[in-house]
Amino acid sequence: MIRTLLVPGLDGSPAPHWQHWWAATDPTAMIVEQHSWSAPMPEAWFTEIAAATLIHPGAVLVGHSLGAIAIANLLSSWPQVKVAGALLVAPADPSRCARIAHFGTVAQHPLGTKVLVAASRNDPWMEQTQARALARSWGAEFVDMGDAGHINVESGHGPWAEGKALRDMLWPPLGRLPRAASVPILADQEALR
């Protein structure tokens, strides 16, 4: 049973990115494959994500960078997509890169599911103030990741156990109720597993 659908950003999440690590080590997680990671087309990406949610109903979507934006735009424009929740990590501003600019304006209204946004103070792809504003408009909880860069390999994030703990707040393991996000995260990681 797939419970986590991983949605990488531009150029995918090859090893040793944390999304690749999760997919390789967690039998309940899988990467939503796209026709092209390097030349992303919004409608094609939305279709692949939506199709994965139909095959694996009730899953949690976990998007990184452009994947986070794709999830937000999908959930805002396709309300029939039903998921347990979404963890949007280090969302990327499409206006900062010509290769993703055609993803256009980022959705700015509630997404219709439980959402957590995790963003750092020094992410080169989106200012934290913009990420916080998007979280508010999406009706999401916000997690301040501190100075964590783009929360990827370059910023020192390997398997990223903290990310799994955030995901588990959206999909309670073993039927436990989710706990509220804490900042800084996560003082008691064992309690969230």
Residue 93 has pLDDT above 60, yes or no: yes
For 46-85, what is each residue's pLDDT tens digit? 999 999 999 999 999 999 999 999 999 999 999 999 999 9
Say how many domains are in the chain: 1
* Token code pair at residue 42: 């919004």
62 with 91: CB under 8 angstroms? no
CATH at 129? 3.40.50.1820
Partners of residue 63 on adjacent β-strands:
7, 88
Once rounded to an integer, what is the mean pLDDT over residues 150-177? 80
Global pTM exceeds 0.85: yes
d(CA 143, CA 160): 15
What sections of the chain are H helices per DSSP?
Answer: 18-25, 42-55, 66-77, 128-138, 161-170, 189-192
- Domain holding 19, by residue range, is 4-192
* Token code pair at residue 21: 């690590």
For 6-49, what is each residue's pLDDT tens digit? 999 999 999 999 999 999 999 999 999 999 999 999 999 999 99
